[in-house]
């Protein structure tokens, strides 16, 4: 529509276009020079060659040529929205984290949901894990809870992450299949990595084809620590529970939706928020101490395990509401950089070997993806609390230290910039660690089947059938019979009926159970 006061003009080429005037602003170059003609390059004669002197043309094309940045190495396809977290139950007794002190207080939040394996242009209803990454702009620094919609993970140690991701992405020679898990490489890796089987049961369940982001749970997965003002530690697992509860589609709906509307999930989120139906989740915590952790046969540091809610109920402490779509997808959703190591005072890590690796990986990849160590200067990543430090320079520096001093200690007094604060400042839990330097995995990480079975039997009969159907369908896409058989040999340790159903569906003789129900872990001396 023509803005008030603007007019339509005929251009040099006979075309009609709108010009500035009234409330229609003047187009400028990136340097701010007003532009008179955005339709034609500057030429030597009307039919002559283009002139290098045309700075407007050169600047415009140069910028366009550099518009793309690398997509995320995983979770490339995502969709984000703004909102807030509101505390409903104070956790002041267990953590000094500012966000958990005052009931009723709201903290701004940005959330990005994603699929994991597909590229940026892939479809929304893939059978896949969904990312559920939350950035909370607390008064004592950003807290990123970078979670998934499944409470456990494929691998126990971050050193396996590149292998796992290579296996799930398209094969390197043919660059297909793109369809997520339906893949010889993926099932080859999984069948050789029995620690992944618990998560596989979730990924083959209806949870992996959610109806919408609004009907998904979210999980911090790892065991984290809360620290109180005295440095006393409480273990914590984080849960997001959707107010609308859980809903999924069935596989044949997913296939149709992917064909008809690959943007189904992002459209759903956009439509819900812009129509005022704000999606909402409750934040829940499972709090426990070492003595409680010691009552389990599995290890609370093992990210392939969860703590059953029957054993430790989830305490609801707040709510997350998404009430604003982004102004610009690239500036916000694409440039947002979540990182597990972004924690405020009062929240700390456990020794989970997956979490420890993640803490390195995100910052590292984001330097590559966003191109400069100054990506915290981008508004979506910048804290909303006061910040002061001596980091300076580098590409795209927007906020350098002001004044004479860019180091400390210094003797410039108040003019010398910020200083450390032993009381307010972040302190790690003073854990006492002993033991040899080793790559051995503890025996407490060795049971890969019990919780897979627990998950299966927690499902209704129709949900259990969906799991069997999904595994049969996925394995039917696997060409090598030995990979199919190897996977079924593990299923026998989870549930004989499931193994028989899948073998039957594939026309396979039932293979022997995989060698060890508690497989010998590489490097462990025989017991
Ligand atoms: C991205 C979750 C394990 C490396 C993401 C994202 C989520 C996520 C939600 C998308 C963030 C966004 O929306 O921008 C998880 C969960 C894990 C896990 C829940 C296990 C519990 C790992 C591990 C590594 C890793 C073990 C590496 C050692 C990455 C990388 C990205 C990513 C490199 C891309 C980040 C970016 O480019 O901004 N992860 N992840 N993740 N994850 Fe993980």
Per-position pLDDT tens, the chain of length 527? 455 667 788 877 788 888 999 889 999 999 999 999 999 999 999 999 999 999 999 999 999 999 999 999 999 999 999 999 999 999 999 999 999 999 999 999 999 999 999 999 999 999 999 999 999 999 999 999 999 999 999 999 999 999 999 999 999 999 998 876 668 999 999 999 999 999 999 999 999 999 999 999 999 999 999 999 999 999 999 999 999 999 999 999 999 999 999 999 999 999 999 999 999 999 999 999 999 999 999 999 999 999 999 999 999 999 999 999 999 999 999 999 999 999 999 999 999 999 999 999 999 999 999 999 999 999 999 999 999 999 999 999 999 999 999 999 999 999 999 999 999 999 999 999 999 999 999 999 999 999 999 999 999 999 999 999 999 999 999 999 999 999 999 999 999 999 999 999 999 999 999 986 454 343 333 33
Contact 287, 250 (CB under 8 A): no
Q: Which two tokens mark 305? A: 């395990």
Contact 112, 133 (CB under 8 A): yes
Contact 238, 284 (CB under 8 A): yes
Q: Residue 362 C-alpha to ligand 1 middle, in angstroms?
A: 7
d(CA 434, CA 39): 70
135's enclosing H/E stretch is: strand 130-138
d(CA 391, CA 408): 11
Q: Is 77 annotated as a binding residue?
A: no
Q: Is 96 annotated as a binding residue?
A: no
30 contact partners, CB below 8 Å, separation of at least 6: 59, 63
Decide: 358 in ligand 1 pocket, CB within 6 A: yes
Decide: 347 in ligand 1 pocket, CB within 6 A: no
Q: Residue 78 C-alpha to ligand 1 middle, in angstroms?
A: 12
Nearest CA to ligand 1 atom 15: 147
Instruction: Give the ranges where 261-350 is alpha helix by DSSP (H).
Output: 264-274, 290-293
Q: Is 362 annotated as a binding residue?
A: yes
Q: Is 358 annotated as a binding residue?
A: yes
Given ligand 1 and candidates 69, 142, 146, 380, which is best to mutate, with the most ligand atoms within 8 Å of its CB?
146
Measured from the Cα of 155, ligand 1's closest atom is: 26
Decide: 120 in ligand 1 pocket, CB within 6 A: no
Decide: 369 in ligand 1 pocket, CB within 6 A: yes
Q: How far apart are the first and last CA of the chain?
A: 77
Given ligand 1 and candidates 69, 115, 131, which is best to mutate, with the most ligand atoms within 8 Å of its CB?
131
Catalytic residue among 56, 82, 142, 148: 148
Q: Residue 193 C-alpha to ligand 1 middle, in angstroms?
A: 20
Decide: 114 in ligand 1 pocket, CB within 6 A: yes
Task: Report the DSSP beta bridge partners of residue 190.
Answer: none
Q: Is 524 helix (H, G, I), strand (E, B) or coil?
A: coil
297 contact partners, CB below 8 Å, separation of at least 6: 444, 447, 450
Q: Is the peptide bond before 340 cis (omega within 30 degrees of 0)?
A: no
Q: Which two tokens mark 298? A: 């599995």
User: Angle formed by the axes of helices 450-458 and 461-476, to 10°?
Assistant: 120
* Beta strand residue intervals within 201-279, DSSP E: 218-219, 224-227, 233-242
Decide: 356 in ligand 1 pocket, CB within 6 A: no
Contact 84, 107 (CB under 8 A): yes
Of the candidates 220, 233, 249, 228, the one whose C-alpha atom is nearest the C-alpha of residue 320 is: 220
Contact 225, 233 (CB under 8 A): yes
Nearest CA to ligand 1 atom 25: 358
Q: Is 245 annotated as a binding residue?
A: no
Active site residue 148: yes
ipTM, two decimals: 0.94
């Amino acid at each position: 529509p023509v803005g008030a006061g603007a007019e339509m003009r005929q251009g040099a080429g006979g075309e009609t276009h709108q010009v500035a005037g009234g409330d229609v602003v003047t187009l400028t170059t990136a340097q701010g020079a007003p532009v008179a003609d955005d339709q034609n390059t500057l030429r030597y004669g009307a039919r002559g060659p283009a002139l290098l002197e045309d700075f407007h043309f050169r600047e415009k094309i140069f910028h366009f040529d550099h518009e793309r940045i690398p997509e995320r190495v995983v979770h490339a396809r995502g969709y984000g929205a703004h909102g807030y977290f509101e505390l409903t139950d104070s956790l002041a007794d267990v953590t000094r984290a500012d966000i958990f002190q005052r009931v009723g207080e709201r903290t701004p939040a940005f959330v990005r949901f994603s699929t994991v394996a597909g590229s940026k242009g892939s479809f929304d209803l893939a059978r896949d894990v969904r990312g559920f990454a939350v950035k909370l702009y607390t008064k004592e620094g950003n807290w990123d809870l970078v979670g998934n919609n499944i409470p456990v993970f494929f691998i126990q140690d971050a050193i396996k992450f590149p292998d796992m991701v290579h296996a799930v992405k398209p094969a390197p020679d043919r660059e297909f299949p793109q369809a997520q898990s339906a893949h010889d490489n993926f099932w080859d890796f999984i069948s050789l990595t029995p620690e992944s089987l618990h998560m596989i049961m979730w990924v083959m369940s209806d949870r992996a084809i959610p109806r919408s982001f609004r009907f998904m749970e979210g999980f911090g997965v790892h065991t984290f620590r809360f620290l109180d003002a005295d440095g006393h530690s409480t273990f914590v697992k984080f849960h997001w529970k959707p107010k609308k509860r859980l809903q999924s589609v069935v596989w044949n709906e997913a296939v149709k939706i992917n064909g008809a509307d690959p943007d189904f999930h992002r459209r759903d989120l956009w439509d819900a928020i812009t129509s005022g139906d704000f999606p909402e989740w409750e934040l829940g915590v499972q709090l426990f101490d070492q003595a409680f952790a010691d009552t389990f046969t599995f290890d609370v540091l093992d990210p392939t395990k969860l703590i059953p809610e029957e054993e430790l109920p989830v305490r609801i402490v707040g709510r997350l509401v998404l009430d604003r779509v982004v102004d610009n997808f690239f500036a916000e959703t694409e440039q947002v950089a979540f990182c597990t190591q972004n924690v405020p005072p009062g929240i700390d890590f456990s020794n989970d070997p997956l979490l420890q690796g993640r803490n390195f990986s995100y910052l590292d990849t984001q330097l590559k993806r966003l191109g400069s160590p100054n990506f915290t200067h981008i508004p979506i990543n910048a804290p909303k609390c006061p910040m002061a430090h001596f980091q300076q320079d580098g590409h795209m520096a927007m906020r350098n230290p002001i004044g004479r001093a860019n180091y400390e200690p210094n003797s410039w007094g108040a003019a010398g910039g910020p200083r450390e604060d032993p009381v307010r400042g972040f302190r790690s839990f003073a854990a006492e660690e002993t033991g040899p330097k080793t790559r051995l995995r503890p025996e407490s990480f060795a049971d890969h089947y019990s919780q897979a079975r627990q998950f299966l039997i927690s499902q209704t009969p129709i949900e259990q059938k969906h799991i069997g159907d999904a595994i049969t369908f996925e394995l039917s896409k696997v060409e090598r019979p030995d990979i199919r058989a190897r996977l079924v040999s593990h299923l026998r340790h989870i549930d004989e009926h499931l193994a028989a159903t899948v073998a039957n569906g594939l026309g396979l003789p039932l293979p022997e159970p995989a060698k060890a129900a508690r497989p010998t872990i590489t490097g462990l001396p025989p017991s």
